Amino acid sequence: MKAAFIQRPGEGLVTGDVEQPTAGAGEVLIEVEACGVCRTDLHLLDGEIPTPKLPLIPGHEIVGTVVALGSQAERYRIGDRVGVPWLGWTCGECEQCLAGRENLCTRAIFTGQGRDGGYAEYATADERFCLPIHSSLSSEEFAPLLCAGLIGYRALRMAGDGARLGLYGFGAAAHIIAQVAVHEGREVFAFTRSEDVGSQEFARRLGAVWAGGSNEQPPEPLDAAIIFAPVGELVPSALRAVRPGGCVVCAGIHMSEIPAMPYSLLWGERVLRSVANLTRRDGEEFMELVSRVPIRTHVHARPLDQAPDAIEALRRGQTEGAEVLLP
């Protein structure tokens, strides 16, 4: 089959022919219809996140059709449409799993990191960690919901139910969660690079009441802020922007170093927390929400052989919404 893969971190994506996988016990073989391109893939490519296996096919926003079942696989039927997110397997036995925090499982395996992902014509997945898709959205429109949407959803819940929400970095995740927040009646304040007026206008079109540079202060204090951009310098900026008692959530899997900052920014019972991965319960809740909220994903779809171009467009911040590959 055709695939795009990481041969060695730091050397860019390679496209070519690889052996088609077969479904093992409890797994399904999926014919990939679309796979979103996530910033995590960029961090893997650059070696900022470790890769337990090489070569590695990245991609963890997979939408496709089940075409074969491994032994003991019985949750899905051939022809079912499913989504495959970042969380690919957990042990179910450790302290974190037993406490309902499988996102923190010490033995977890992640799609497109510990096992091959969806930058390919076919992919396998543990059927227990796949999500059934019953949406009218096309596969390319749905793909970004499986990470940008899911991680954004978890971050939004961690941020609490405050009325004024700041979003730092207005890429794939923010453009989805902004729509959810507006639907919930919140005011959204979008922060981008100061020169990125295109993203600021995009945010306003999606309902943001204010959009400006990440070096600016909002016109009024925020109840909470979510940082999607992997930039540690945004942490003190976001803390300055939230009111006492407010919350700042770091939603990325990787972030540059957070600079030293005065304790006064955290004082006043402000909360600084991170979001790590997701749980299957997050997936179930978000899929139910997607069925009720009219989310429209903005995607730039490309054929699989243009995966290197999609990654570079993401690196340069040139995409309005999300990049999606179509095998």
Q: What tens-digit pLDDT sequence spans the chain (327 residues)?
A: 999 999 999 999 999 999 999 999 999 999 999 999 999 999 999 999 999 999 999 999 999 999 999 999 999 999 999 999 999 999 999 999 999 999 999 999 999 999 999 999 999 999 999 999 998 899 999 999 999 999 999 999 999 999 999 999 999 999 999 999 999 999 999 999 888 899 999 999 999 999 999 999 999 999 999 999 999 999 999 999 999 999 999 999 999 999 999 999 999 999 999 999 999 999 999 999 999 999 999 999 999 999 999 999 999 888 899 999 999
Class of the domain covering 150-274? alpha beta
Q: Any idea what the Cα angle at residue 23 is, between residues 129 and 283, rounded to 5°?
A: 10
Topology (CATH level 3) of domain 2-137+297-326? Quinone Oxidoreductase; Chain A, domain 1 (3.90.180)
Q: CA-CA distances (angstroms) from residue 94 to 105, 115, 126, 279?
A: 7, 21, 19, 15
Per-residue confidence (pLDDT) for residue 13, from 0 to 100: 95
Predicted confidence (pLDDT) per residue in 225-262, tens digit:
999 999 999 999 999 999 999 999 999 999 999 999 99
The pair of structure tokens assigned to 145 is 């919901």
3-class secondary-structure state, position 154: helix
- What are the domain boundaries of the chain? 2-137+297-326, 150-274
What does the DSSP assignment read for 56-107?
B-----EEEEEEEE-TT--SS-TT-EEEE-SEEE--S-SHHHHTT-GGG-TT
190: Cβ contacts below 8 Å, ≥ 6 apart:
166, 167, 170, 174, 178, 199, 200, 203, 204, 208, 210, 211, 212
DSSP class of 129: G
The pair of structure tokens assigned to 130 is 């796949």
Domains 2-137+297-326 and 150-274 belong to one CATH topology: no
Per-residue confidence (pLDDT) for residue 269, from 0 to 100: 97
Per-residue confidence (pLDDT) for residue 317, from 0 to 100: 86
Alpha-carbon span 279 to 281, nearest angstrom:
5
| CA pseudo-torsion sign 297, 103, 45, 226 | positive
Name residue 172's beta-bridge partners. none
